[in-house]
Copies of this chain bind each other. A is one copy, B any other.
Amino acid sequence: MILSFNQATAQNWPLPDMIKGCAVAGVTQVGLWREPVAEYGLQRTVSLLADAGLAVSTLCRGGFFDRPDWLSSNRAAIDEAAALGAPVLVLVSGGLPPGSRDIDGARAHVAEAVSTLVPFALQAGVRLAVEPLHPMYAADRCVINTLAQALAVAEPHPSEAVGVVVDTYHIWWDDRVYADIARAGERIASFQIADWTTPLPEGALTGRALPGDGEIEIGRLWRAVEAAGYTGPVEVEIFNTELWSRPGDDILAATIRAYEAFS
């Protein structure tokens, strides 16, 4: 699998510098986020990518089906992914709606919302990728918390329309994960690697480590994803305050080293 550099790993690196840095370093794929793309300009980003010869592996992210504007927001995200030539739009489902404790209801709504988006995704040629997030985010960020749940959302639809994300950080603890990766097969639309360290920081969001620096058997998960037939890029996506404080080129170099240790 070739490396794709997710821009969230260097979230303070301006978009044009990031694209240039990747091109210089020989990284040919990037994972982009909607907010910095919108800030720089969608068409300007498309031009930059073309000039640099970079492909976009995934656009992060749609989903957040707990918000009232989810349909318009996700339709816009699909269109943006298509414009960027991103084959995959990552969906993070969102948590419980304000004031609600009905997690079963929230999960059922996610499945319905994804169904609603399928025709738009097929028309745009963009694959929706349902990402399970670690159960510690179930209340406030994502009610889809296991690969099995993500697959249950995806499987009623054509594989080219809806796949799943396998991100080591979110699923490593699950005793069923190897069986579910095998079951996922061609549903795997994106493979992302980040490592787990403790103690978790306040908010539990920014404590991820470069692959190899934590507790996860990343090599074993990597081989399982390969054995399931996945041949796409491996994205490194790290939320880490200390990492973010470094110069972008340094972060990219550290990312490439971590990737090469596993590849």
B-contacting residues of A (Cβ < 8 Å)? Answer: 96, 101-104, 107, 134-136, 138-140, 145-146, 149, 172-175, 196, 198-204, 214-217
Q: State the Cβ distance, A25 to closest chain B Cβ, in Å.
A: 28
Total identical chains: 2
Contact B102 A139 (CB under 8 A): no
Contact A135 B202 (CB under 8 A): no
- Interchain CB contact (< 8 A) of A139 among B149, B174, B196: B196
Contact B149 A101 (CB under 8 A): no
Known: A134-B135, A204-B204. A101 touches B199 (CB 8 A): no
- Interchain CB contact (< 8 A) of A102 among B135, B145, B217: B217
Known: A199-B204, A200-B202. A146 touches B134 (CB 8 A): no
Q: State the Cβ distance, A260 to closest chain B Cβ, in Å.
A: 19
Q: State the Cβ distance, A214 to closest chain B Cβ, in Å.
A: 8
Closest partner residue, chain B, to A196 (CB atom): B139
Best-surrounded residue of A139, A149, A196, A199 (most CB of chain B within 10 A): A139
A101-B215, A101-B217 known, 9 other contacts, Cβ within 8 Å: A101-B216, A102-B217, A134-B135, A135-B173, A140-B198, A199-B202, A200-B200, A200-B203, A200-B204
